[in-house]
Amino acid sequence: MTVRFGRTELPERQQRALRAAIRMEWLTLLFLAAAITMVYLVMGSSQAMKAAWIEDLLSLAPPIAFLVAVRIVNRPPTQKYPYGYHRAVGVAHLVAGVALFAMGAFLIVDSASGLLRAEHPPIGSVVLFGQPVWLGWLMMLAMALTIPLPIYFGRVKMRLARELHDKVLYADADMNKADWMTAAGSIVGVAGIGLGLWWADAAAALFIAGSIVWDGARNLRAAITDLVDTRATTFDDGKPHPVGARVDDYLRGLPWVEQAGSRMRDQGHVFHVESFVVPREGRTPSLQELMAARDGCIDLDWRVQDIVVIPIDELPEEVGGSRESRQSERNR
């Protein structure tokens, strides 16, 4: 039997999802290039439009980070990197989170200072086809055009992120949600200026900046906790990932196992699992039984990347071991 470490190939279903995600990210970059250019040409002195333009620039970070990461993750493990390169996804997640948080904080300071100074942003007119046109109409039209595609991109990426267990893709889907909300907020801010509400523009910019900081802080926290080996969670960090419980249930069902508990860390798309098993009294598992248990766990879910099954006399507390739980298991 060949011992497998750092299995790098995803199952066919996930490979199809990954190819679809790559295509979606390239389409996102093309859309953002057009949107950034369009917004820059019409933003004038509006703080809300400036915040929306910077937010569009920041939106480049997650898809670029994702495309770079997927070129690295499938490299085979080496002696220097025995766990493989799946953690590149976590690094990309961290980069995206830092970019979002830093720029959002800058925009909050910039927008709040404009609001406190009671700045009245002027919006002039331009001549189109020989007729003067208020620039605010062009601003609102440009932002309205940037709303439909981010809604579509976000829904598709959310589905693919769930399929791939890809937190960078999830962060990008979240960013797409922020994109269309930003566009809507910018329209409100520019319309407020047109109605004589000078503070509406800065207030809309502050709302946009707060949304960016929230997304950045949430993704930054998730990326850092994954990189310091917190308990593996679902792709949206909503709850502990159920694969760990499935592994424990499978091991407990083996005839020679009395107790089982695992610790599982997120490697990117996949997990590294260390499972501790307490053999039944007087029952010492053979090498073949241990290897069969290991392969059975791998077959439970494609995310189980590497797993080691470790016989031990009692479970560590970190994986559920306690005097009460051991006594409960013996009384069954």
pLDDT digits (tens, 9 = 90+) for 38-48: 888 887 777 77
pLDDT at residue 61 tops 70: yes
**pLDDT tier for residue 109 given thresholds of 50, 70 and 90:** confident
Strands 271-279 and 304-311, how do they pair?
Answer: parallel
Taking residues 170-191, report their average pLDDT. Answer: 81
Taking residues 5-11, report their average pLDDT. Answer: 63
Residue scoring higher pLDDT (298 or 212): 298
Cβ–Cβ under 8 Å, residues 188 and 199: no
Predicted confidence at residue 211, as pLDDT, reads 78
Measured between alpha carbons, how far is 177 from 181 in angstroms, rounded to an integer? 6
Predicted confidence at residue 327, as pLDDT, reads 52
Q: 66-100: b or e for each residue (b if 16 or more CB lie within 10 Å)?
A: bbebbebbbeebeeeeebbbbbbbbbbbbbbbbbb
Measured between alpha carbons, how far is 198 from 202 in angstroms, rounded to an integer? 8
pLDDT at residue 280 tops 60: yes
Measured between alpha carbons, how far is 164 from 303 in angstroms, rounded to an integer? 9
Taking residues 216-245, report their average pLDDT. Answer: 87
Report the range of poorest mean pLDDT among 39-48, 123-132, 149-158, 224-233: 123-132
pLDDT at residue 331 tops 70: no
In this structure, what are the phi and psi dihedrals at residue 94, rounded to the nearest 5 degrees?
A: -65, -45
Residue scoring higher pLDDT (233 or 136): 233
Predicted confidence at residue 24, as pLDDT, reads 95
Measured between alpha carbons, how far is 268 from 89 in angstroms, rounded to an integer? 5
| Averaged pLDDT score across all residues of the chain | 83
Residue scoring higher pLDDT (256 or 209): 256
The two tokens of residue 93 are 């997640």
Hey, what amino acid is at 123? Answer: I
pLDDT at residue 296 tops 90: yes
* Residue 64 DSSP SS3: helix
Predicted confidence at residue 322, as pLDDT, reads 56
Predicted confidence at residue 255, as pLDDT, reads 93
Measured between alpha carbons, how far is 222 from 230 in angstroms, rounded to an integer? 9
- Half-sphere exposure of 260 toward its Cβ, with a 13 Å CA cutoff? 24
What end-to-end distance do the CA atoms of the chain give, in Å?
Answer: 35
SS3 content of the chain, % helix, strand, coil (to 5): 60, 10, 25
Cβ–Cβ under 8 Å, residues 115 and 198: no
Using a 10 angstrom Cβ sphere, with 0-12 exposed, 13-18 middle and 19 or more buried, the burial of residue 296 is: middle
The neighbour count for residue 202, using CB atoms within 10 Å, is 28
pLDDT at residue 289 tops 80: yes
**Which residues share a beta bridge with 134?**
125
Predicted confidence at residue 1, as pLDDT, reads 40
* Residue 312 DSSP SS3: coil
Predicted confidence at residue 300, as pLDDT, reads 92
Taking residues 120-130, report their average pLDDT. Answer: 67
**pLDDT tier for residue 65 given thresholds of 50, 70 and 90:** confident
Hey, what amino acid is at 304? Answer: V
